[in-house]
Structure 1
Amino acid sequence: MNGTSGRKPGDRPGKPGRTRRARKARGRVWLWRWRGNPLRRHDDVVEAWLLLVMWAVILVGGALAGTLAARAADQEFAHQRADRHPVAAVLVTDVPQTANGGDAYRAPAKVRWTAPDGTVRTGRTLVETGRQSGTKVTVWQNGRGTLTTQPPGPAEARVEAALFGASAALALAGLVYGGTALARWRLDRHRYEQWGAEWDLIGPRWDQKTG
Structure 2
Amino acid sequence: MRAITGLWRWRRNPLRRGTDLVEAWVALVALILIVVAAPVVGIVAGSLSRDALYRSVQEQHDRRHKVTATVVKKVAQPPLDPDPETSTARDAHSRVVATWKAPDGTAHRDRVVAALKTPRAGDTFPLWTDGYGHVVGRPLDRTTATTHAVLAGFGAAVALTGLVEGTRRLVVWRLVRRRYARWDHAWDIAGPDWGRTGTGS
TM-score over 0.5 for the pair: yes
| 1:197 corresponds to | 185
The CA RMSD measured in Å over matched residues stands at 4.1
**Aligned-pair CA distance for 1:87:** 0.8
1:78 counterpart residue number: 58
> Could you say which residue in structure 2 is the equivalent of 1:30?
6
Is 1:41 the equivalent of 2:18? yes
**Which among 161, 173, 183 is matched to residue 149 of structure 2?**
161
Report the TM-score when normalising by structure 1: 0.61
Kept in 1: contact 2:128–2:135 (CA 8 A): yes
Q: Which runs of 5+ in 2 are unaligned?
A: 81-85
Unpaired runs of 5+ in structure 1? 1-22
Choose between structure 1 and 2 for higher RCO, CA contacts under 8 A separated by at least 6 residues: 2
Correspondence 1:89 to 2:69 = yes
- The alignment-based identity, stated in percent, is 33
Q: Is structure 2 residue 45 aligned with structure 1 residue 60?
A: no
* Paired amino acid for 2:165: Y
CA displacement, residues 74-121 of structure 1 (integer Å, 9 cap, x when unaligned)? 332333333332111133552789985552662252444333342525
Residue aligned with 2:125, SS: strand
Say whether the 8 Å CA contact 1:34–1:45 is kept in structure 2.
no
- The 4+ residue runs of structure 1 with deviation greater than 6 A are 95-99
| 1:137 alignment partner in structure 2 | 125
| Whole-angstrom distance in 1 between the partners of 2:95 and 2:124 | 12
Secondary structure, aligned partner of 1:103: helix
Match of 1:114 among 86, 101, 114: 101
Change (3 A) 1:183 1:84: farther
